[in-house]
Structure 1
Amino acid sequence: MGDLRKIIGEKIRSIRNAKGLTLQQLSHETGLQTSYIGEVERGKRNVSLDSLEKLITVLDIKPSELFEFRELEVDSPEFETNSVLEIHYQFLKEKKTEDVKMIHRITKDIFASIERPNDKF
């Protein structure tokens, strides 16, 4: 069950960062200790339902958003392009606009290099 604690913590951190909040700001807004939130984000502490409700309220998310995650192995029979696109969409929607633009530029460069297999590096 420690893995779930870590996954939820990482999700909280990701959403907090995407909203441009520091640990201190989130602590102030929720009334929770900064160290407690940090430990929750690192998967070191269980988060109580009361604390989770405070985090969800301040982060302005639906409870279900914390549980939207899916790992998909490339070699699995369930692997489909649409599944991968959905996973990437969920990942990118939590990022800042400038980060998404940077990821887009990098991705374009990768595809451009793949499409030019005769070029030598």
Structure 2
Amino acid sequence: MLLFRRTLGEVLRAARIERGLTLREVSAEARVSLGYISEIERGQKEASSELLASLCAALDLPLSQVLRDVSDAAAVEESLLAAPSATPIGVKRTGDVVASAA
């Protein structure tokens, strides 16, 4: 299942690491507690629009880029979830039940 908060956290963490910033540095710049940012990065907490704007400013990253990266990651995950799984030859799929022809 695709969780927006988890994907958003992954994008924010990747941006922070790419910029060589610590949680402490982002926390001080964004004026958000270090623990809360950590929970957002781990997908455990939802970020309000105001908080997300503060984090983007601290990361010197446009909000539109963060949302684009989250959207791209979501599209990839959705396509993987929607891809039909390979069914071995001689096996017939019936809903969630797999029946073997052998």
| TM-score normalised by the chain length of structure 1 | 0.56
- Give the aligned partner of residue 64 of structure 2: 64
- Alpha carbons of 1:48 and 1:2: their partners in 2 closer, same or farther (altered >3 Å)? farther
Unaligned runs of 5+ in 2: 84-102
Q: Which runs of 4+ in 1 moved over 3 A?
A: none
- Give the aligned partner of residue 99 of structure 2: none
1:34 aligns with 2:34: yes
Question: What one-letter code is carried by the residue in structure 1 that aligns with 2:64?
Answer: S
- Give the aligned partner of residue 46 of structure 2: 46
Unaligned runs of 5+ in 1: 77-121
Question: Could you tell me the percent identity over the aligned residues?
Answer: 32
1:12 aligns with 2:12: yes
Greater per-residue helix proportion: 1
SS in 2 for 1:32: coil
| TM-score normalised by the chain length of structure 2 | 0.66
Deviations 1:35-88 (A, max 9, x none): 000000000001011111111111111112112224154xx6xxxxxxxxxxxx
What is the total number of aligned residue pairs between the two structures? 75
1:21 aligns with 2:27: no
Task: Verify the 8 A CA contact 1:56 1:63 in the aligned structure 2.
Answer: yes
Q: Distance in 1 between matches of 2:39 and 2:2?
A: 13
